[in-house]
A and B are shown apart, each in its own frame.
Chain A
């Protein structure tokens, strides 16, 4: 399973989001150090990475909260928590669910 964490340093949400992701990995039985962390620091880089905001988290290439028609760019990303609230970071429950789904599809626990 490939876990990617892309961030832009100009948005302050990435330390908490990365900590939440590592916690979710631990809770789902994975090595929290397996996260591939990459900084996106230019608009060109954002286009190349299809980076639609910080942080962007992909598990086996699939965004944990896919967006339609979102422009790429150096900005903070808007996430929706399960209760509908807006947040700068993904809902930890969504992270755990995405990791479990990826584990099942890849045949690993």
Chain B
């Protein structure tokens, strides 16, 4: 499990079209473990994607990763992921498939959503929820935005860790 201030695991995963993506040293990288079937992930989704759009011109890159066992949860299948991407739900954010669940395990991801912010050196600077209430759009992913502002300005985020809230990752048996 990566600790705040330590290097985060590297990875390379395919998106819904088969293109491989990896953290690439962007000014900041947001890794979002998410899925299709969880109400927490869905409730926060537009807010999280909004952050990607708002911070793109500051060099922030976001990668969304679905690690769930699609055999037990068919709504998290690659086809279902592709349908959401094709419907425009992810804007320009790549939606990656973690079929082996190795990336989720490497990050010790617990829920969907669970967010990780890396700086340009791949060091973990924030981990947790987007904000304090999935039911309040006015929260506007404040914790995530605050973490990105801090990283982009070379400061330590405060808070740098919050409790991830959502559905448990659906691990394979």
Contacts and interface: CB of A to CB of B under 8 A. Distances in A.
A13 B165 CA distance: 10
B50 interface: no
A85 B134 CA distance: 10
Contact of A78 (B37, B72, B165): B37
A104 to B, nearest CB: 29
B153 interface: no
Nearest to A80: B39
Contacts of A89: 135
A78 B137 contact: no
B73 A85 contact: no
B158 interface: no
Contacts of B166: 12, 76
Contacts of B137: 85
A87 B134 contact: yes
Contact of B134 (A11, A75, A88): A88
Contacts of A88: 39-40, 43, 134-135
Interface residues of A, number: 16
A75 B73 contact: yes
Majority-rule SS of A interface residues: loop
Contacts of A12: 165-166
A10 B168 contact: yes
A5 interface: no
A79 B39 contact: yes
Interface in A43-63: none
B167 A75 contact: yes
Interface in A3-47: 10-13
Interface string A67-82: 0000001011111010
A101 interface: no
B40 A76 contact: yes
B37 A86 contact: no
Residue of A77, A87, A88 with most partner-chain B CB within 10 A: A88
B42 interface: yes
Contact of A85 (B38, B40, B135, B165): B135
Interface of A: 10-13, 73, 75-79, 81, 85-89
